[in-house]
Every structure is written in structure tokens, then in C-alpha cells.
Structure 1
Amino acid sequence: MKKIIHLILTFAVSSQLFSQKLNIPIPNNPAVKVGTLKNGLKYYILKNAEPKNRMELRLVVNAGSVLETDAQQGLAHFMEHMNFNGTKNFPKNDLVNFLQKSGMKFGADLNASTGFDETIYQLQVPTDSIRLFERAFQILADWSSLATLDTAEINKERGIILEEERSRGKNAQSRIQQKLYPLLFNNSRYADRLPIGKVEILKTFNPEEIVKFYKDWYRTDLMAVIAVGDFDQEKVESLIQEKFSSLKAPKNAPKRTKYEIPPAAGTSVSLILDKEIPQTTFQMLTKLPREKTITQADYRTDIAENLYNQMLGNRLQEISKQPNAPFVFGIMSYSPFLASLDVFQAIVLPKNAEGLEKAIKAIIDEQERLKRFGFTKGELERAKKEYFTSVEKAYKEKDKTKSAAFVNGLVQNYLQGTSYTNADFRFEFTKNNLDGITLEEINAISKKIIKEENRVGIVIGSEKDKEKLPSEDKIRELINYKNPDLKPYEDDAILTPILEKIPEGTKVVSEKKIESIGVTELIFGNGAKVALKPTIFKNDQIIFSATSKGGTSLYNDVDYFSAEMASNIASQGGVSKLSDIQLDKALAGKVANVYTYVGELNEGIGGSTSPKDLETALQLMYAYVTQPRRDDEVVKNFLKNEKELLANSIKTLTPEKVFGDTISTTLYQNHPRRLPNKAEDVDKVNIDRAFEIYKERFADFSDFTFVFVGNFDIEKIKPLLEKYIGGLPSLKRQESFKDLNISKVKGKIEKNIYKGLEDKARVNLQFNGDFGYSEEELVNLDALAEILDIKLTEKLREEAGGVYTPSIRSSYEKLPKATYNLTISFGCSPANAEKLVQLTLDEIAKIKTNGPEKIDVEKVIAEEKRSIELQLKENGFWASYLLDQYSDGEDLNYILRFNNELIDKISIESVKKAANQFCDENMAKFVLLPEKK
């Protein structure tokens, strides 16, 4: 007895000492320079070399929609827009024009967002131009206090804001949110201050109201400037002091009230129905007091909670993969919420409305199973491996981490007071403390977060399913359901290697270097070609892919659906002797992601890994294509889920789905391989035939081309490639795809589609046709799309106030025959649709007649140069580019000519020629309009 008491006392003392040891602040990243000006403005400066010659800037305003008066609802967001419509040093649209001429793109490099509690402006700016570098800080200063707020500009912007509200607010999701938020936010200030505001106020507010909001809340004591990038820190600090020190903090400014969401007793429930929601879901949220992460003990708790979420996610994913799974997918997690609250949430998607009760019971069962039995040692060990791998990866990439990755931590420090540490601390702390986190600690989290107070349970579904869905009383009963027969989780993990026998492989039979782009081509004894591009863009990344011609085009219509689903079906059962669930567990802590696909014209492989896990990834790739494990029960469950999801989507067709399907079927003239998938199509899948097709597609690697890009040494990885790629099967067959003669309709097509409840329209204009696929055509088609993006944003948005954001996309394919597509789409008021279409066609006609304006050509050239400068330093870009060039039989050096010659050849005449070539009589116009009353 004395020995037991001694052990208890020893444990208590050691726990106390442990808590004291970590009861110290988390060290902030010492490389970040932090300061506060006399006027209260705070700044954070961090020198970071990636990407080179770029910096990320943020102006953070600790004010959002929650601070609006009743008469100002929507004006916090409106103010965000107005800062792009004229400031002291950048009148009207000069700001956007200036940045576009400097190679920046609106949306990607220049943007802003408004939330309930904050407004954040962002710039990504080149630092190799002194003028642009210095002007960027003037832009932030102008946003902070020098907006002109011209009445004429305000009135012009109303239409754009209303179109944003139309595009985001007039849909089923928004209607559901309007019913959900009062319940979720417990009728607090947050429920009545959605950032988009109220339409009537946006239409009629007095401009004095937005001026008052700006003066009240855009002030230096509520602002921070964040700068992260490739620059001189001292120079940046000097610029911040120069541009912001003269700004005065207002006297007698209103107090920045911090609003809360009051707790609600017990569990509130709601059944929310809508005519345009195709899928039933159940959500349950428990709101909990926020736990701030200040001390190292708090940080250790955060790690434990991360492990908890990870294990919980793994369990639910495992359930969804089982035969006769009770749901298609489920999510449970503990995370930050809003207004000083955290939330434990559960979301589950049943197969259909009839299966909702079973799905809810399953998710409630898992919560109860956690409370009663907790997690297992095996689950925790795997979660620790996964967590440590992610931390270790960030540590290895610390000198290659992009500046944007550091920004959010600094933003949250300013707004929430959270720490911003660095990769060194995270790695060392994790290495020293991860093993000490016990299963008892993890299981104790359930008692902290699985509560029956301040909880909300919601079922969202289609009005068509109303009779099948539970009443609110029934929802409450299901939430409180307790399964008396609940058993502990059984951990099905086995220690079996991915491959029982390592292939002998074949040697390299030829080697060729393409010095200009740093590529080495290897040919192996089995005929497989491998293109290797070693890079130093990332320290811990290798991306690989492979392709071969063939695909579903080789199979007749009877086999089409089996062929189309072949790779999905083959992947369901896992590999070799490992089920898909067991395989996930076997790969815990490994960075080895591999997938296969069977497309229309080709079949292929994709994957990513780290240098240390390359052999594991290659083994996994080898196993997927040579030893797929067949599990018919799992496959039948997968197909059943697919069928139910399709049936639900067809039963409640959303306007967007009807519109998209109509465009596709019309353009492709109802070709059977371009029709929307239907539930009955799943019944056409033959599992035996799908496996046969999969094996046929990956039976011969003599015509496959592999591409590897990343951090590796060619000579060191050759032996691995010889085994796992040189060892792949080879039949030396001569094979290509089959041209199915699927072509888009010629001539002029016009079609109106009437679907939807709201007063909103969607316009889709498409120009399609054949072309020569020459370098000149490729470059100028893209340039034409970029110029149309600039002009239509000016004409449709800024001048007409008729759209929020037009979308212009160009695309092209070389195989089976060279075709192009130019698509222009936008949302608008039904009353304005035809007028805006005509404005669009007028702009195209101007370019066809006169060519584009010189300034727009200069903007496109600048944007292209800035964009390609970054892309050429991305592994992902090179992996995609090389595979495409090999697949299409194109010159690998094209990218060098594009960067060094072809961009500069874009001209008024070349774009004019492209407009006349690509915007011809082959035009299809589709307009989605609300249903006729």
C-alpha cells in the first residue's frame, strides 16, 4: 500500500514539475521585427527569400461588419471596395492600372477581404523595382486613411456590390445561412451583421454613412502593417515610418467593442429545407470557450488536440470505406470558431434522405465510443508519426518556405494575440515533447469537448424529401441516442510490406541530356522512358507522373462506363495483401502519395513524395499497377454511394447543374460520352470488366513516359528506378488512342435555360474551333483572353456596374485534333443580360477592327513575365509542363522561347489577328434565367 501511495505522490510531483517547466511563453520568431508607432499603428517585418524578388504586404484593420450601425449594414465591405476606387495618391482607377502595368494581377496579387471582425488588404509586390517597392507602402498608407470616397464613385460602386450580393447571396446556400446563423450565433450581433449587408441599405445609404464608418474605424490604433519578403528589413521599417508616422490617431474615437456570442442552454435543433439543395446533411456543433495558446504548456495541448482530430478523421474515413458504410463521408473536429469561441463539430453526409437516421446514429456512436473507450495505442502511435513528419517537413523546408505562409500567423498575433513561432522551435519542441503525450491525455479531451450544453443540431435537406426527413423532435431524439451495444474500436493494422518480393528490374540502356532545361532522359530495358529534372526549389519534395496513349477511347460504348471507372474501382481494395484501410495505416508517417487514372486518350500515374520516402512511393506505384487488391464488397459499396449521389443530384437539379449540363450536351451534340452521368449509368459498370481494362491499360510500360522533378541526385536514384520502373511489365506493343470524332457544334448557337428561384442570370459565351496549334497561336490566344479580362472588367464591372467579376478562360488541346476554346462568363441581373452580352461583343468587335489598346498589351506582357518568373521556380509547373510536352510530342525547349522571345512578340497586331481568328462565327451563347412564373 505504501508503495502505491509513493507512486501516486511521485506522479503528482513530476506532473507539477512538468507543468512548471512548460509554463513559460512560447517564443515568437526572433527574425520578425515588431514595432509600434506613436500613433498606435503596429508593424511586423520579416525578411524571407522565397519567392525571390517578391514581398507579401498586408494592411490589417481590426474592424469589420460587426461594428456597423443599423444604417451601415454592408458598409464595412463597401469600404473595402472603395479603397480601390480612388485615394489621394491614386485617383479613381489609377491604383489598379498602376499595379497591372507593373505585372500584378487583380485578384491574384491585389485583393482584400472583409469579415465580421476585421478587414484585410493584400498585395504581392515585386521588390526588384525600387519605384514599385516604395509605392507599395504608399498604397497601404492611402488605404489606411486617404480614401477619397467621392460620391459619384460610391454611387457607381453600388451596382458592383449588388452584383456581388446577387452572385453570392441569391442561392440555396445563402438562404440556408439566413436561417442557420440566428441559431448558430444565438441571435447575437453576429447574426445581424453579415458582411455583405442588406440590399436596401446598399441601394440607398447616404454617402455620409460610409465616410463616418471610415473615420470611426480606419485609424492607426486599430491597424497593423505586415511585410514579409525578399527585401532589406531596415529599408522596409524606414518606409513604414515615413508613410505612416504622420497619420494622426483621432481624438474621442468610439470604443472598439468586442462582441460575444452568448451561450445557449442545452441543445437547439432545426430542420432547414430548400428547393434547390440536392443533398441531405446533418451538422452538430458544440460551442466552447476559446483556449488561448500562450505558454508552451498550451502549445503541448494544441499538439494533443491536433492528434485527437487526426485520429478522429482517420476513424471516420475508415468507416466510410467499409462495406455497407452508414454514410458517404463524415467529419468531426475541434477547432477555432468565432467571437472567442472554439467549436467541436460533426458533419455527416448520408447516402440519401432515407439513410439519414442511420448516418446520424453512426456519428453519435463514434462520439460515445470515444467517451467510453477512447483511442487505442496503435492509433496514437500512427498519429504521432504523421504529426512529426509534417513538422519535420516544415523544418526541412524552412529556407524554401514562401512568404505568404508566414503572413497568417502575424495577422492572428495582431488580431488574437496568438504566438508566431518558427520552424526551429516547432521542430525542437515536437521532438522533445511528442513522445510524452499519453493516451490518457488524448482521451481526456473527449470529456472537455463532447458536451450537451450550448449545442446545435441541424438537418439540411431538399423540400422534395420533406416527408422522409425527421422532425425537430426526432432530430433531438437521435442526438441524444445511446447505443447499449457499443463496443471498443478494433484496430485492424497488420505489419505486412507493400511488396512481398522486390522486382529485379532492368538497367538503363540509353541516356540523353537536355542541358538547356536541365533534363536527363533515361530509357530502361523494358522500354520505359524516364525524364529527370533535379531542382533545388524545395528541399523535401519529389513530384512524379507518367502517361501512355490509349485510355477509354479504345473501348466500345458497352464497356465505356467500366473503363471510365476502372482506376477508381481498382484503387478501392488496396494493394497486394493490404486492404485500403490497412494500407493507410502502413503508410503512417510516410510521404508517399500515388494515384492512377484512365482518361479518354491516355492512362497514367501521379504522385509525390519526399527524398527519404521515394522507395516507398515507388513500391506503392509498382503495387498499384501490378498488384491491385480486389475487394468486391468494398467496390460494391463505392458504386452504391456513387449511384445514390447521382440520384440525389438529379432528383433536385440545381440551376448551375442544369446550366452546365445543357452547355455540354448542346456543344457536343448529345454525344453519348459527353452526356451527364446518370444514376442508372452506374449499373452499366461491370466489376470484372473494369479490372480487366485496368490491367490491360497498365500491362505494357514500353510506351510510358515518366517525369520526376524535385530534390534528388540522378546517379543515386538510378538503382531505385531500375528496380521499380525498369521492372514494370513490358509487351512492346504498338498502341495509341482512337479518335472518337467528338467535336463541338459549328456555327452560331443561342439558348436560354430557365431554372432557378432567384432574380439572377448567368451568361456563358463560347468560341470554339480548329486551329494549327502553332506557338504564335498559343501565345496570342492566351494574350487575347488576358486583354478581354482587362477590358470586360473595365466595361462590364467598372463602367456599367453590371457584373461582379467576369471570367475569361482560354484553353486548347492538340489531341486527338488541335482545337481551341475561349469562354466568357459572368453573372448579372436577368434584366441586364442582353445589354451586357452586347457590350461584350462590342468590345470584341473593337479589338477585331482596331486591335487592343497599347497600354493593355503592355499590361499583359508585364503580367506574363512576372507570372512565368515564379512558375519556372515551381516543381509542380515543371512536372506538368514536361509531361504535357512529352504526351503531345512537342518541343521541350518551348518554355525557353516563350520566356525569352515569344512574350515580347505579343503586339497590337498579333492580338488583333488572334481576335479575328478565334472570335469567329463559331459562337455559342447560353443564358441561365430564373424560372418563368
Structure 2
Amino acid sequence: MKKLIHLVLIIAVSTHAFAQKLNVPIPNNPAVKVGTLKNGFKYYILKNAEPKNRMELRLVVNAGSILETDAQQGLAHFMEHMNFNGTKEFPKNDLVNFLQKSGMKFGADLNASTSFDETIYQLQVPTDSVKLFERAFQILADWSNYATLDTAEINKERGIILEEERARGKNAQARIQQKVLPILFNNSRYANRIPIGKTDIIQNFKPEEIIKFYKDWYRPDLMAVIAVGDFDAEKVENLIKEKFSAIKMPKNAPKRIQYEIPATTGTQTAVILDKEIPQNTFQMFTRLPKEKTKTQSDYRTDIAEALYNQLISNRLQELSKKPNAPFVVAIMNYGSFLGGLDAFQTIVLPKNADGLEAAIKSVIDEQNRIKKFGFTKGELERAKKDYFTGVEKGFKEKDKTKSAAFVGGLVQNYLQGTAYTNADFRYEFTKAQLDGITIDEVNAISNKVMKEDNRVAMVVGSEKDKDKLPNEAKIKELVSYVNPDLKPYEDDIALTPILEKIPVGTKVISEKQIPEIGVTELVLGNGVKVALKPTNFKNDQILFSATSKGGTSLYSDADYISAELASTLVSQGGVSKLSDVQLDKALAGKVAQVYTYIGEISEGIGGSTSPKDLETALQLMYAYVTQPRRDDEVIKNFLKNEKELLANAAKTLTPEKVFSDTVTTVLYQNHFRRQPTKPEDIDKANVDRAFEIFKERFADFSDFTFVFVGTFEIEKIKPLIEKYIGGLPSTKRQETFKDLGISKVKGKIEKNVYKGLEDKARVSLQFNGDFGYSEEELINLDALSEVLDIKLTEKLREEAGGVYTPSIRASYEKLPKSTYNLTISFGCSPANVDKLVKITLDEIAKIKANGPEKVDVEKVIAEEKREVELQVKENGFWNSYLLDQYSDGEDLNFINRFQSQLIDKISVGSIQKAANQFCTDNIAKFVLLPEKK
């Protein structure tokens, strides 16, 4: 139940008898089998049907960087890496190879993470292969006790870890963090045990140090196995006993100390600046005692706290939309922290550097308003509706919940002792308790969390704005100020319905079945085509989308900014007679999200809802496109915010932003519509013209195609579709997009960008060209990118030790003309750029000359099969797939043929052909390097 920034408070209830009634443990999910082996190894087993033929495995180690000695800083994380570089059953890199051949992808299905207090290894494993099923538990056992920790492998891994540190640690955010954490963690052990560690130790530690860390902390009494999935639970338990029972406790094992962050008095303040931070922010943390959720009384308090967080969020979101709001984004939240603490957190992003003091005052005013006057009953009732809707949705989806969703609760039970309940208890308990949570009970939480002791208040910003930002003394003054003129919050609600008049609509005039993909096509009297795909993947979800050709391509360069912003500006005002704020309140407790967009060559609609709220969602969709509400004050505020944010960011452009903008500008030959947005561009937005363009784009639905995917019956959904989609305007105009002739530069291009203070580089190699958009090309370009991912990870990371993670991405588009892009990118040391680029191009040349290695092709085929097997069981996949196929005029049955026939046509020869076709002399090489000194 607990979420990030979530604090448990014990609030007095009205009667002693009531308190006694709830002062009993929260029942754990009875379906979870929990056991402890004689050696202390704990295990959790839960049989769960979704996704079919898959299981989620975790090895949880109750040990992280906090337990390192001074000489071991970084070795908890290093140990995590080494478990992928040789174990008893899987020497050297055999583990990754074995899993890739089984269709698992490194990063997605096979991963691990190291934190201060724990290390967690994860596998998502198919269960329809007996060999893989059994080997998966051997892998976990190997990680827990049988890592080889070969000296040669340790030395090879040093470079990879250093490149990870370069990628994550050599930037403005990391430099800020180095200054923030000692303050935030009060110079405790946490401040000196950042998981990535110290580079000099990573470079020079003796293998004996990591072996000692492994033997000291990877031990049965500090580890648990979690297995959730579509399997025989008894067989899983037997495998766990077989693989883990023989592991012995080390003699004289050190005590697992629980470290804490000591408290401070009053409010500490700090101003932390950096040359490359693009935005100024104010951040305040109040560190509070941690209380665990174990009893039903605690659980009831958890619900009150969740409501409290939601109420604050709603207030701040509403405040940000006011014309005179001094901030763009503000956050207040409380929940779990570190070192036996929870925290109440406040963050505010001002519109500009000059306005930071006003932004701080505004959020402090809101804190004080909440403490003094509390929330209103109307606010609480809406929050309760939203909360119950979420719980109810979880209850309805309990048999369709994915295994991964259960893992977190079991991990936290092992590490923190928190309860792991099930959807039935959550639903029944919430239904019984929610109404009884009073406004006084929720308001009382403020006194628990809005404290002035053990508090840190910081300004983090750009050195360029140093003279405009408050100093430490001023920060202390701002956070302590109490405005004597504070007034209670006024709840702006309206009882107006979304639609005052329901459209008459038009009937279905034709119907077509496409049984091979389970789609029914309808054509309505106004010309709209609707594709319906009922599914049983979820019990309480309907996704819908719509598209039509046209977009901003139909408008002149003079109108471009107005067209580009049209949908966003229109959305600011709400619909019909309801403002955006009033609309949010009217939708409390309903699952009905709708948005519109105007892209370059198309315009469209997207939405998600539940079966019971489908009509509300359709009304909202209809209102957005036929009755948008114009609110010039809100729009003016929005445009002002955008301009000030862009202007503020332009003063301190990050190296990554400069690099990205340069790549786009050079590739698209400085085309006006591919330039980065500048502050002065906002002035070109004409609100009158933007509304005209929006209305033009959604004036005629006769050429729109709608797609609905999810939980519905076709005959029951038809009347709603006829009413709301059949009632959309139709002029039967003949329209398509305009090809603007925006094309990428041809030939060999090389461009170095010098930006940044740190010793780090970024390489982007891009192959571009025309594309036939045939099925063969689509499949083999993707397969080529996957082969390159495997091969370049092997060559650049594992062998050269020169990168952390290379990224290979293939993309293509059919309209306005068929083109492809193959991008290879990686971060590295500036000294290694030429060497690593050469390795990359040499590997491509080998594939072009000889084809890829057969084993890599087999891995790609296995991965593709496993991935698509899961994709076709997702509503989101079908929603986007069907819309794309309709929009591009492609075969709707392609996915079935891909799954049953086309994957197996991927071969050494087909990928070799693709490499020669796509890796041509149309290559652009971009390199980001540090500024010249």
C-alpha cells in the first residue's frame, strides 16, 4: 500500500472499541506460500495466471552499499555486475548467452539493481520450457552463493563500471547530488556510501575485497527468493528447497547493522549552484520517524494519508493554473525515505529566476492555509471517489493482474516487514472504512508532517542566476513567514453536465467482420469508420483512438506555431461551460481520460476508460472536439509560462540539449519546422488562429477512423457509438496531408559538438535513407538492429570495456514518404571515441561481408517470438497497431503472419542483405565532446 513519499501516522479514532477492533494484523494474501529453509533462506511463492507461461523471479539480498567498508566503496554494485560474469553453472558470459537463446532480453527480462540497503536480481522467465524453468532457479542459486569472481573477469568489468559512473556521475545532476546528500543525510553513513562508489577504488581494489563482501553479506539469513507466475507452486517449492538448502551460513558472519540518519534541530538551509543546471528549484524535506503498516488501524491511516497527498496535489495543480501563479510546478508529498525515516517533501519550480522567492512564498502560504483552515468536505469527497475507483479497479482486475505487480509487496515484506494483502481485502476494507474517514482526521495529518524541526530547505540553481536567488538567511526567512492575510480555500465547482444536449447521431450503415484478428468494422451514417476489437485481456479497460490525415502540414510557416500549439491551447479551457478545473472535479471517481492532438500529417484523439464510464468518456470526447471552451486568461498564463521556461532554459543549455538540437538541425538541413522552439516563437502563436485551426481539423469526421479495444460487447457498445461518434460533424470533404519536402541530409556527415565540463563524450551514428516499406524490409531492419545490439554490447562493453550500454534503435515511417533510420549511440571517454567508432563500423562491415553469426540470429528469433507472444495479449498494443495499420493502409493481419510465419524467415542471409541495404554511405556521425580548454 505504501508508495514513495508516504508516511504512516497513528491518528486517534473516536472510540476505544473501534480502535481495538482494528488493532489486529492485516491479513497477508493467503495464496502466497511463505517458508524459511533451515539455513535461514526465506521464500515466497504465488501462483498467478497473467501473463500466461511466464514467471517473475527475484533474488532479494538484504545488503547494499551501506554495508561496505571504506575500502569497499562501490563493491556492492560491482558484485551485482559480477554475478553476470561467471558462476559455477554459467562460466564467464554463458549466463547471458543462455538466456538470450531462450528468448530473454538483457535489461527487460534479466536485470538487477543495487541500492543503499538492498540488492535485487530479477528474471522474467517463460514457464513452458521445462529446461529453462528449472535452470532459472539454478541461476538464482548461483547468484546467491556460487559466483566465481575470477580475477580476469573482475579486471574486465572495471572499465564497464567506470563507464557507468561516467554516464551517470559526470553531469550537473551528479555534481549537485554530491553537495545535497551530505546535507540531506546529515553526514550519516548514507552520505558516504553512494552505490556507484569511488572511481579510485573501482580501478584499484584487490579481488579479495569483493570476495569478502560477497561472503560476508550474500548469506542465507539475508536473502529471499520470490517466485510469482503461471506455474505449479509445489514444483517451485521443491526446486527452491533443492537449489538453496545446501547453502551454508558463513562462520563468524558480521552483524547486519541498521544504519540511521540522525536528527537535526530547526531548519538547515543551503544554496547549491552549478554552471549546467538549466532550472532553479526550491526543495524542502522534513525528516520524520518511520512507522510501519502492520495492523488494520495502520492500514486505515494509510488510506487517510493517501487521501491527504491527493488533496494537496489537487490544490497545487489548481493553483498552478491561475493566471497569477508564480510557479509552473509545485509538489508536496509525504512518504518513505531512508535510514529509518519518512519525509514530507516540498518542491517548487518557478517561472523564472526572478520569481523564485514569490514561488517559495506561494507554496509556504499553501502549507499554512492547509494547516490553518484544512481541506473542505467537498475536496475530501472527490478524493474518496477517486481513491475508491482505483481500489475497485484493482478488485475487478484481480484475475488479470500481472505477476510483476505482486513482486513489490513481497519484496517490502521481506525487507521492511510490511503486510502484503490481496485485492479482496483491500476492496472490502476500503468499502467498510472509507466513508468513516473524517475531514478532521485528514486535516490532523498536517500537524504531524509540517514540522519545523529536522528540516532541510535548499535552493538548487544555475550559477548564472546567483545574484537573483535567495541566500541561506533569506531562505530561512521565507520558509518561516506566516501571511496574516491568508483566506480559506474556495471550492470552484459547477453542476453543469459535460453535454447539455446529447447528439442525435447516425446509424451503422455497413458492418464487416475480420475474424482472423477479431475485428468488426462499422461505417456510420456520417462516414466515420469504427474498428471494434473486444478482448478479455483486462476486465475493466477500454482504450480508444482516432486519426485522420491533414495535420499542421496544411498550414503555412506563418501559421505553423499556432497550428503546433492549437490542441494544447484549446485543452487549457475545459469544455462547454466547464473550466478545466471544474471539469476535473466533475470527473471525480470516473475513469475517463481523453486528449486530442494535431501532428504534422494527421490529427487525432486518444482515450481510456472503463466499461461503466464509457459514455462519460465519449461525451468528453464529443465535447472536446465540438464544444471547446475558450479561456483567454488561462491561455495567456500558459503561453507566458512556456516562454519564461524556454527563456530560462536557454540561459543554461545542458550539453545533452545542445547536442540533441544540433543533431536534429543538421540532419534536417536547418528546416524551419525542425528547429528547437525558442522563447520568441511563443510570441508567434495567435490564439484566434489556433482556435480556427483546431476547429478546422475537427470539423469533418467523415475521413476519421476510430479504434476501440477492450472489455465490451459489440451489440451493447453500438448505440453509444452511433450516438456520440455517429453524431460528430461531417462535411464529406476530400482531404489529405501535404508533403512539405522535409528530408534528411544525404551522404557522409561528421559534426563535433563541444559542450560540457566533464570528461565524457556521446557518439551518435545515424544511417538514413529511402525505404520500400515491404514486409521483408520491416522485419529485417528490426532484426538487424537486434543483432547489432547483441554484437555491439559484446564488442564495445564486454570486450573493450569502453561503454556502459550501447543503444541501437531502428525506426521507419511510411508517410509522407517511406524512410528509415538506424541509430547507434553510446557514451564513452573522449579518448576512446575513435577506437569505439572503428570497432562499431568494423562489426557492421563484417555483417555486410559475411552475415551475422548464426547464434546471434537464433537469439533474435527467440527474443522476437517471446516478445510478440506477450504483446498480442495487451490492449495497448492492439490499439496502436490497428490505428497505425489503418492510417498507413497496411494489412491488418500482418501481426498474425509475422507471428506464425515471418519471424522464421529471419536468417543470416536476410540480415546480411539488410545490412548492405541500410548501412550505406548515408551516414551521419555526431560526437559530443567537452568544451575545449
SS of the residue aligned with 2:731?
coil
Q: CA-to-partner distance for each residue in 1:486-513, whole Å, 9 max, x for gaps?
A: 0000000111100000000000000000
Measure the CA separation in 1 of the matches of 2:30 and 2:496: 45
Measure the CA separation in 1 of the matches of 2:252 and 2:467: 58
- 1:906 CA drift (Å): 0.2
Measure the CA separation in 2 of the matches of 1:329 and 1:497: 29
SS of the residue aligned with 1:467?
helix
SS of the residue aligned with 1:294?
coil
1:4 is aligned to none
On the 8 A contact 2:288/2:342 being kept in 1, the answer is: yes
1:6 is aligned to none
1:682 is aligned to 682
Q: 1:634 is aligned with what amino acid?
A: V
Measure the CA separation in 2 of the matches of 1:449 and 1:543: 39
Matched, 1:711 2:711: yes
Q: CA-to-partner distance for each residue in 1:539-570, whole Å, 9 max, x for gaps?
A: 00000000000000000000000000000000
Give the aligned CA root-mean-square deviation in angstroms. Answer: 0.8
Measure the CA separation in 1 of the matches of 2:895 and 2:410: 37
Measure the CA separation in 2 of the matches of 1:892 and 1:13: 59
1:280 is aligned to 280
- 1:414 CA drift (Å): 0.2
Measure the CA separation in 2 of the matches of 1:52 and 1:874: 12
On the 8 A contact 2:114/2:195 being kept in 1, the answer is: yes
1:27 is aligned to 27
- 1:81 CA drift (Å): 0.1
Measure the CA separation in 1 of the matches of 2:425 and 2:566: 46
Q: 2:357 is aligned with what amino acid?
A: E
1:242 is aligned to 242
1:821 is aligned to 821
Compute the TM-score of the two structures, normalised by the length of structure 2. Answer: 0.99
Once the two structures are superposed, the pairs formed by residues 112-151 of structure 1 within 5 Å of their partners are: 112-151=112-151
Measure the CA separation in 2 of the matches of 1:512 and 1:530: 10
SS of the residue aligned with 2:49?
coil
2:732 is aligned to 732
Once the two structures are superposed, the pairs formed by residues 549-564 of structure 1 within 5 Å of their partners are: 549-564=549-564
Measure the CA separation in 2 of the matches of 1:505 and 1:44: 54
2:403 is aligned to 403
Q: CA-to-partner distance for each residue in 1:613-643, whole Å, 9 max, x for gaps?
A: 0000000000000000000000010001111
- 1:768 CA drift (Å): 0.2
1:7 is aligned to none
SS of the residue aligned with 1:58?
strand
- 1:251 CA drift (Å): 1.8
Q: 1:120 is aligned with what amino acid?
A: I
2:798 is aligned to 798
Matched, 1:307 2:316: no
Measure the CA separation in 1 of the matches of 2:31 and 2:103: 29
* Structure 1: unaligned runs, 5 residues or longer: 1-10
Measure the CA separation in 1 of the matches of 2:496 and 2:24: 44
- 1:247 CA drift (Å): 0.6
Matched, 1:518 2:518: yes
Measure the CA separation in 1 of the matches of 2:460 and 2:876: 38
2:742 is aligned to 742
Q: 2:45 is aligned with what amino acid?
A: I
Count of aligned positions = 923
Q: CA-to-partner distance for each residue in 1:166-196, whole Å, 9 max, x for gaps?
A: 0000000000000000000000000000000
Q: 1:827 is aligned with what amino acid?
A: G
Matched, 1:918 2:894: no
SS of the residue aligned with 1:328?
strand
Matched, 1:491 2:491: yes
Measure the CA separation in 2 of the matches of 1:771 and 1:183: 55
Matched, 1:68 2:80: no
Q: 1:402 is aligned with what amino acid?
A: K
Q: 1:334 is aligned with what amino acid?
A: Y
SS of the residue aligned with 1:643?
helix
On the 8 A contact 2:160/2:803 being kept in 1, the answer is: yes
Q: 1:42 is aligned with what amino acid?
A: K
Matched, 1:83 2:97: no
Q: CA-to-partner distance for each residue in 1:342-382, whole Å, 9 max, x for gaps?
A: 10001000001001011000000011001100000000000
Measure the CA separation in 1 of the matches of 2:232 and 2:846: 46
Q: 2:836 is aligned with what amino acid?
A: L
SS of the residue aligned with 2:492?
coil
Once the two structures are superposed, the pairs formed by residues 95-114 of structure 1 within 5 Å of their partners are: 95-114=95-114
SS of the residue aligned with 2:327?
coil
Measure the CA separation in 1 of the matches of 2:12 and 2:905: 75
On the 8 A contact 2:668/2:742 being kept in 1, the answer is: yes
Measure the CA separation in 2 of the matches of 1:627 and 1:834: 58
Q: 1:903 is aligned with what amino acid?
A: I
Tell me which moved more, 317-326 or 606-615: 317-326
2:364 is aligned to 364
Q: CA-to-partner distance for each residue in 1:243-276, whole Å, 9 max, x for gaps?
A: 0001111121000011000001100010010000
1:447 is aligned to 447
1:569 is aligned to 569
Instruction: State the 4+ residue runs in structure 1 displaced beyond 4 angstroms.
Output: 11-14
1:332 is aligned to 332
On the 8 A contact 2:13/2:19 being kept in 1, the answer is: no
2:258 is aligned to 258
1:5 is aligned to none
Tell me which moved more, 784-793 or 468-477: 468-477
Q: 2:909 is aligned with what amino acid?
A: E
- The share of aligned pairs that are identical, in percent, is 81
Matched, 1:289 2:266: no
Measure the CA separation in 1 of the matches of 2:863 and 2:294: 42
1:298 is aligned to 298
Measure the CA separation in 2 of the matches of 1:298 and 1:45: 26
Q: CA-to-partner distance for each residue in 1:319-358, whole Å, 9 max, x for gaps?
A: 0111121210111011111111110001000001001011
SS of the residue aligned with 2:56?
strand
Q: 2:336 is aligned with what amino acid?
A: P
Q: 1:531 is aligned with what amino acid?
A: A
Measure the CA separation in 2 of the matches of 1:453 and 1:13: 26
1:668 is aligned to 668
Measure the CA separation in 1 of the matches of 2:12 and 2:311: 28
Q: CA-to-partner distance for each residue in 1:83-134, whole Å, 9 max, x for gaps?
A: 0000000000000000000000000000000000000000000000000000
- 1:771 CA drift (Å): 1.5
Matched, 1:788 2:788: yes
Measure the CA separation in 2 of the matches of 1:117 and 1:204: 24
Matched, 1:873 2:873: yes
2:231 is aligned to 231
- 1:13 CA drift (Å): 9.8
2:46 is aligned to 46
Measure the CA separation in 2 of the matches of 1:45 and 1:804: 34
Measure the CA separation in 2 of the matches of 1:640 and 1:507: 45
Once the two structures are superposed, the pairs formed by residues 195-210 of structure 1 within 5 Å of their partners are: 195-210=195-210
1:176 is aligned to 176
- 1:797 CA drift (Å): 0.1
Q: 1:789 is aligned with what amino acid?
A: D
Measure the CA separation in 2 of the matches of 1:522 and 1:616: 21
Q: 1:329 is aligned with what amino acid?
A: V
SS of the residue aligned with 1:564?
helix
2:56 is aligned to 56
Q: 2:493 is aligned with what amino acid?
A: A
1:752 is aligned to 752
1:321 is aligned to 321
Q: 2:151 is aligned with what amino acid?
A: T
2:3 is aligned to none
Measure the CA separation in 2 of the matches of 1:471 and 1:281: 13
1:428 is aligned to 428
Q: 1:881 is aligned with what amino acid?
A: Y
Q: 2:279 is aligned with what amino acid?
A: Q
- 1:931 CA drift (Å): 0.2
1:892 is aligned to 892
* Structure 2: unaligned runs, 5 residues or longer: 1-10
Q: 1:369 is aligned with what amino acid?
A: R
Q: 1:735 is aligned with what amino acid?
A: E
- 1:14 CA drift (Å): 5.6
Residues 693, 201 of structure 1: CA spacing in aligned structure 2 closer, same or farther, 3 A cutoff? same
- 1:409 CA drift (Å): 0.2
Once the two structures are superposed, the pairs formed by residues 383-394 of structure 1 within 5 Å of their partners are: 383-394=383-394
Q: 1:851 is aligned with what amino acid?
A: G
Measure the CA separation in 1 of the matches of 2:14 and 2:706: 55
Measure the CA separation in 2 of the matches of 1:14 and 1:257: 39
- 1:12 CA drift (Å): 10
